[in-house]
Amino acid sequence: MATLDINGVRKAYGKHEVLKEVNISVGDGEFLVLLGPSGCGKSTLLNIIAGLEDITGGEVLIGGRVVNDLPPKDRDIAMVFQSYALYPTMTVRQNIEFGMKIRGIAAEERAKATEAAAEMLQMTGLLNRKPSQLSGGQRQRVAMGRAIVRHPELFLFDEPLSNLDAKLRVDMRTEIKRLHQRLGATIVYVTHDQIEAMTLATKVAVMKDGIVQHFGPPQEVYDRPANTYVARFVGSPAMNIIPGRLNVSGGQASVAFDTPLGEARVTDVTVSSETAERFGGRDVLVGIRPEHFSHDTAGGVPVSVDVVEPTGPDTLVIFSAGGTEVVARLEPMDIVVGAQTRFGVKAEKVVLFDPQTETRLD
């Protein structure tokens, strides 16, 4: 396997720049997810890594080797597409073997590699079937098997699960996780699904308008998002962003924001001395994940319940604070629309953002 380094990569079509100074480094055996909405540049970046798109500026290195001018066949990569791209007249075995056959690998070696890949992907009983006789999940396994037998330095996945139904996506997500664990492979995976990113990745690059907004481990991206865009994009329901004020007194920091029932105050918020000095007594944006609320009638945020959404394992309660809609995820509970109560907040989990730049403070 190999490292991947993307240094100052730019891509423009005429005057329209779709990638702007992208910098990402991935270690040997890591799983990188490029995450973002349609049009953010993630698939373009994957195609540049694969050699399917020319580069406007910067460098791409695979295993320490600059590959800017190398054709795809010389980059030692394997790609799994959103569409399965299987040969309909060939059996599963023939589809998996085809690339090896083209490269002149002996029949005995091809058979051995195919059997090993089929066993890994639980397809041993499907090798003599045609693609038309397979489910969507089985076809995606065949596409993965065809990639595995190449033993590439780098696996590239371009939204491989988007054509599958919800249950199959969960099953195939598990298969890809197992594949990464067994092979120790270096993988770059494109998706717009933040659940896929959180469950699969060792590193996530959240993209918007051709710019990497946050690059880091998935838990860091979730807990300490670089800006309000990342905070809202990663998480379901998204992080609540509430206009408020930072107060600092006697070395203790708290945040306050308005609700229809009066002022809410969250005490013992952790801030750096620099943030306390710059923003003490000033407006900030207060980030609170829905699950960091609790039902606490003794204190916390005064709430007038607007909407209640029971989901089974938890209850979503929607209310207003700071002039914006706020979602709290609580344990299953009986609460009615119009009820007035109080919610506690885990102060240590509160994230503050600059209201001007919308970047995270501290």
The better pLDDT of the pair 109, 82 is held by 109
Q: Tell me what the mean pLDDT of segment 333-359 comes to.
A: 96
Q: Does position 151 have pLDDT exceeding 90, yes or no? A: no
If you average pLDDT over each of 101-110, 126-135, 301-310, which comes out highest? 301-310
The identity of residue 33, as a single letter, is V
pLDDT in the model for residue 165: 78
pLDDT in the model for residue 292: 97
Of 173-177, 250-254, 341-345, the one with minimum mean pLDDT is: 173-177
Q: Tell me what the mean pLDDT of segment 126-141 comes to.
A: 89
Q: Does position 168 have pLDDT exceeding 80, yes or no? A: no
What domains appear along the chain, each with residue ranges and CATH number?
4-233 (3.40.50.300), 240-353 (2.40.50.140)
pLDDT in the model for residue 46: 96
Q: Does position 137 have pLDDT exceeding 90, yes or no? A: no
Q: Output the pTM of the full model.
A: 0.90
pLDDT in the model for residue 20: 96
- How much of the chain, in percent, has pLDDT values that exceed 70? 100
For the sheet containing 77-80, what is the strand order?
A: 77-80, 154-158, 187-191, 31-35, 203-208, 211-216
Q: Does position 298 have pLDDT exceeding 90, yes or no? A: no
Q: Does position 140 have pLDDT exceeding 80, yes or no? A: yes
pLDDT band at 141 (very low <50, low <70, confident <90, very high): confident
Q: Tell me what the mean pLDDT of segment 16-39 comes to.
A: 96
- How much of the chain, in percent, has pLDDT values that exceed 90? 75
Q: Does position 329 have pLDDT exceeding 90, yes or no? A: yes
Comparing C-alpha atoms, which of 276, 271, 311 is closest to residue 290?
Answer: 311
Average pLDDT taken over every residue of the chain: 93
Q: Does position 1 have pLDDT exceeding 70, yes or no? A: no
If you average pLDDT over each of 116-130, 183-197, 222-236, which comes out highest? 222-236
Of 60-64, 71-75, 322-326, the one with minimum mean pLDDT is: 71-75
pLDDT digits (tens, 9 = 90+) for 247-296: 999 889 999 999 999 999 999 999 999 999 999 999 999 999 999 999 98
Name 201's Cβ contacts closer than 8 Å, sequence gap at least 6: 31, 32, 33, 189, 217, 218
Q: Does position 331 have pLDDT exceeding 80, yes or no? A: yes
Other C-beta atoms lying within 10 Å of the C-beta of residue 65 = 14
pLDDT in the model for residue 120: 82
Name 168's Cβ contacts closer than 8 Å, sequence gap at least 6: 135, 136, 137, 161
pLDDT band at 319 (very low <50, low <70, confident <90, very high): very high
pLDDT band at 37 (very low <50, low <70, confident <90, very high): very high
Reported residue count of the chain is 362
pLDDT in the model for residue 283: 97
pLDDT band at 173 (very low <50, low <70, confident <90, very high): confident
